[in-house]
Chains A and B, each alone.
Chain A
Amino acid sequence: MVTRVPHHSVRPRRRLRLLLASGAAALALAAGSVVPGNPLAPAPSEARADDGKTTLTVAVAQSVDSLSPFLAQRLVSTSIHRLMYDYLTNYDPKDNKAIPGLATAWEPSADKLTWTYTIRSDSKWSDGQQATAEDAAWTFNKMMTDEGAATSNGSFVGNFEKVTAPSKDKLVITLKEPQATMAALDVPIVPKHVWEKVGDFSKFNNDKDFPIVGNGPFILTDYKVDSYVKLKANKDFWRGSPKFDELVFRYYKDQDAAVAALRKGEVSFVSGSPSLTPAQSTSLKSAPDIKVNDAPGRRFFALAVNPGARTKDGQRFGDGHPALLDQKVRHALFMAVDRKTIIDKVFQGHAVEGEGYIPPRFGDYFWKPAEGQKLAYDPAKAASLLDEAGYKKNGAGKRVGKDGKPLDFRILCHATDPNDKAIGKYLQEWWGEQGIGLKVECLDNVSDPWYAGEYDLAFDGWSVNPDPDFVLSIHTCAALPAKAKESAATDNFICDKQYDELYRKQLAEYDPAKRADLVKQLESRLYDTGYMNVMAYPNAVEAYRTDHIESITTMPSAAGNIYGQDGYWSWWSAVPAAGASSSGSSESGGSSTGVLVGVGIAVVVLAGGGLLFAMRRRSTAEDRE
């Protein structure tokens, strides 16, 4: 006869089991998967150490949009193209001046309309064929004739009349108008014999056949979407082989996770997107074997003022505040902004106070306002300017116009950028003291109100290239939209006759010194208008492991950044640390400890499981009594 054992007699054991079960549940889970996971993991770095191969691993967050140089728009993709393909010219890491790339020399004709490039004879495609002027001519012609091939770099050939290759080493470009930027054609030159087989350029992503034929310092060997991009050193590269054998861009979608990977040594370099946060850089500074590179960046961060949106033919649209059309008001607003506080409190020291339009790292074009011209922080002067402009304070301390309406502005802010929000708070305070109201409108996507001209002020910023032509061109009348609210090249609807005239002159000036002078005059004019007020040049804060990388070239080399350079200098020049392969093995040491601990946990869990099982059997036996 079967008798049920009274409840309470088994209860204590049951309770223990239940507790064990719930507590161990998570552990069991983890460990359960460790069992298959760990003893296995043939520590990847060990393999590397065995054949002595050195690998430089870079953490990236941005997905590759396309590996086709004709389609790629994103920084990660264009940076990789710099490594895969040689461009006609490159930029000297010392001073950003144009230096030879695929072309060894370039010169304009007397009428300024024809440029002749001499193509080097020692550049080979990775499939063995020689890279020639014919490849370059074909690349440019393709972009000029096929809309799909003009997607990413079409702007470079907009002014080209004709491109020919009269011989293997001569490339001739004929222009419609003089253009001073011909040593700054940032266009990857592709091998004609490979690319002429491509059908639809607007859909070909160049990511199926590996290795991809190229002639840059690295050859792309493998790519897995959002997992990694692998490149190997091009030993035959004409400037010399890179020092690392392999370069891997590994995906870390979360910046804190990337920083963790750097601490662990899984990656050698973290750039952050666009920069490490002050908290991250502070914590990494005290970490062993990690160097934080806090370098002048290539961006400016500005307060843009809506000058009244309009189309090319002068049709007005948008709703910018009319008070802002008064230069005095614009100057007063900027003079009430304490830039030093913004650098110290918002950027926490990781930025440089703004002056001219182009950041100081581009020494040739950097311009500062003269003493009398400078709109320095001066709240008293700002107040008197506003008085002069006819906006007096009323009894309640609010500035009112002649129509009796209070001065209230809106500022467009990027909801994704915490700096925008923080600075917005400061502006509310500073301008509030002046009697001016400010509404900070933070949006995920600011482009709609922006292109509709529906804003008074906006936070604005651009990355500047070694050749400043593009960031200057976006403030010309020619960049205005053809139709109201249509997207166009313009940044902030600025259209100023004097500025346009200077812009036209600099583009046609082939003498570098004279052109630099014209560019500075442009910056001076832009500064005076008060439509683009540069508040800061944010630093690029990056970090790398000194036990992986012994040395690496920054750009500018004196004090500059590493990721997203104009050129391939950083990865090409990086020297593996003496312990780089052994750093791999220390990593693998970590993994083998990992294996041991994993096995340990597995054993504990199995034992625990066994115990549970045994207890269960026992209680069953009791049940059967």
Chain B
Amino acid sequence: MSSESTPALRQGAAGVESTESDGPAPAGPSARSPRSRSTAAYARYAAGKLAGAAVSLFAVLVTSFFLFRLIPGDPVKQMTGGRQVSTEQIAAMRREFGLDLPLWQQFTQYCGKALTGDFGTSYQFRAPVIDKITEALPATLLLTGTAFVIYTLLGIWLGARSAWRNGSAGDRANTAFALTLYSVPSFWLGLLLIITLSVGIGPVPGLFPTGGMESGDTEGFDRVLDIAHHLVLPVVTLVAVEYARTLLVMRSSLLDEMGSDYLTTARAKGLRDDLVRRRHAVPNAMLPTVTLLFVNLGTTVAGAILVETVFSWPGLGGLFYQALSVPDLPLVQALFFVFAAAVILMNTLADVIYPLLDPRVGR
């Protein structure tokens, strides 16, 4: 009855939890050798995963060279299309880009340079590919990163609540709402938001800019606010379309935990329902969600081509589209590599982190 009893119980709950997660690892000197054995096992496991990632990265490097050479179209002709150019100019450009060399020679040059981190010069922008990517990367990370944080938190929160009240009107409404948004094409939703919230419709005034990342006439803190203002609609669009996935995974994995004995135990101890959920059920249901989280994190780098286009966001998604349409081979190869590397890296990170979250993995 007294309020002091709650902290005591909380400690108790924490105790139960730690026993759960640490598994049967009794204290004492005898415990040392299995622990060091498990550390060695973990090191082997992690090294295996890292080696696998390195092999994947190399495969991507090679694939990206050949994959984009399958795209029909001559970059030089595409770039000079509709322009007054002489045959000599076209030949000079082909020479400059190394397109006159035999394929194997182009390939060895590409590999040699790529291994030193030099992805060459963009055909259409005449700038080092790395510069073009680093130029657009912050915009993309800002947009997709912000959206990622919000839809992950929102998805986990709503998913957990939905599962906990599984079958209730709230759960059904919640899931249906999320799924409806999930099936909406992002560019269409974006346009609707522009028309309603940006231009204004009826009594609703235009609240947000129609596109772009900044007005370009602000500095310092004002600039930060200006960018935040421009960020709202694209982030809302991305979150609206994306959060359902996290929600559903969270919901279903929590549902799997719902009947577990440890929850009954926790309830039997007299824990509040909220606490049972937050302290016991959710942490155990997190693993599949963490997987999804890392997959999502890996793809944030690739940006969101459609949303970036609708909101004229100067990010990597738009750059990739432009690179493909030429095809601007050095740029498209490097972007493909970076996108793939981000996914590989995040997956590897997830693999490496799992055993720390759940010791059953990696044994």
Contact = CB atoms under 8 A, between A and B. Distances in A.
B310 A254 contact: yes
A29 B240 CA distance: 9
Contact of A624 (B6, B83, B231): B6
Contacts of B310: 253-254, 257
A156 to B, nearest CB: 8
Contacts of B121: 203
A155 B82 contact: no
6 contacts: A18-B173, A26-B239, A30-B197, A36-B228, A41-B225, A463-B82
Contacts of A512: none
Interface string A27-50: 001100110111011101001000
Given A154-B89, A624-B3, A15 B169 contact: yes
Residue among A23, A225, A487 having the largest count of chain B Cβ atoms under 10 Å: A487
B334 to A, nearest CB: 16
Given A33-B228, A40-B225, A463-B82, 5 more contacts: A1-B270, A4-B273, A30-B236, A158-B86, A253-B309
A253 B92 contact: no
B77 interface: yes
The interface size bin for chain B is 35 or more
Given A150-B89, A448-B74, A479-B87, A594 B170 contact: no
Contacts of A36: 225, 228
Contact of A22 (B96, B170, B209, B239): B170
A147 interface: yes
Contact of A34 (B80, B207, B213): B207
A3 interface: yes
A260 B199 contact: yes
A38 B229 contact: yes
Nearest to A449: B72
Nearest to B94: A487
B92 A26 contact: no
A378 to B, nearest CB: 33
A595 to B, nearest CB: 9
Contacts of B22: none
Given A3-B270, A203-B127, A228 B240 contact: no
Contacts of A444: 72-73, 325
Contacts of B359: none
Closest 9 pairs (CB-CB, A-B):
A18-B170, A40-B225, A445-B73, A226-B314, A37-B229, A22-B174, A261-B210, A2-B270, A44-B215
A488 B76 CA distance: 10
Contact of B267 (A4, A25, A488): A4
Contact of A260 (B73, B93, B198): B198
A465 B82 CA distance: 11
Given A65-B125, A489-B87, A151 B206 contact: no
B235 interface: yes
Nearest to B135: A225
Contacts of B207: 34, 38, 594, 597-598
Contacts of B206: 264, 590, 594
A374 interface: no
Contacts of B270: 1-4
Contacts of B31: none
B212 interface: yes
A325 B76 CA distance: 30
Contacts of A597: 204-205, 207
A230 B72 CA distance: 36
B177 to A, nearest CB: 6
A71 B93 CA distance: 11
B5 interface: yes
A563 to B, nearest CB: 15
Nearest to B216: A228
Interface in A252-293: 252-254, 256-258, 260-261, 263-264, 266
Interface in B174-194: 174, 177-178, 181, 187, 191, 194
Interface in B227-284: 228-229, 231-232, 235-236, 239-240, 243, 267, 270-274
B232 A25 contact: no
A37 B226 CA distance: 7
Contacts of A310: none
Contacts of B314: 224-227, 251
A482 interface: yes
Contacts of B170: 14-15, 17-19, 22
Contact of A154 (B88, B126, B174, B325): B88
Nearest to B226: A41
A217 to B, nearest CB: 21
B25 interface: no
A613 interface: no
Nearest to B76: A487
B125 A47 contact: no
Interface residues of A, number: 93
A73 interface: yes
B1 to A, nearest CB: 5
A109 interface: no
Given A1-B1, A41-B225, A42-B218, A26 B240 contact: yes
Contacts of A19: 169-170, 173-174
A210 interface: no
A228 B212 contact: yes
B225 A44 contact: no
B74 A487 contact: yes
A40 B228 contact: yes
B192 to A, nearest CB: 11
A487 B271 CA distance: 76
A32 to B, nearest CB: 8
B21 interface: no
Contacts of B218: 42, 44
A252 B169 CA distance: 42
Contacts of B199: 260-261, 263-264
A15 to B, nearest CB: 5
B136 interface: yes
A160 to B, nearest CB: 12
A590 B93 CA distance: 50
B225 A251 contact: no
Contacts of B80: 73
A22 B169 CA distance: 12
A605 B220 CA distance: 28
B155 to A, nearest CB: 10
B101 interface: no
A481 B157 CA distance: 64
Contacts of B312: 226, 251-254, 257
B128 to A, nearest CB: 8
Contacts of A593: 205
Contact of A202 (B9, B96, B197): B96
Contacts of A11: 165, 168
A463 B78 CA distance: 15
Contacts of A23: 173, 177
Interface string B49-75: 000000000000000000000011110
B216 A37 contact: no
Interface in A288-319: none
Contact of A590 (B158, B200, B272, B311): B200
A593 B203 CA distance: 11
A317 B229 CA distance: 58
Nearest to B217: A44
A25 B85 contact: no
A63 interface: yes
Contact of B191 (A33, A256, A447, A594): A256
A489 B205 contact: no
Interface in B267-323: 267, 270-274, 308-312, 314, 318, 322
Interface in A478-529: 479, 481-482, 487-489
Contacts of A14: 165, 170
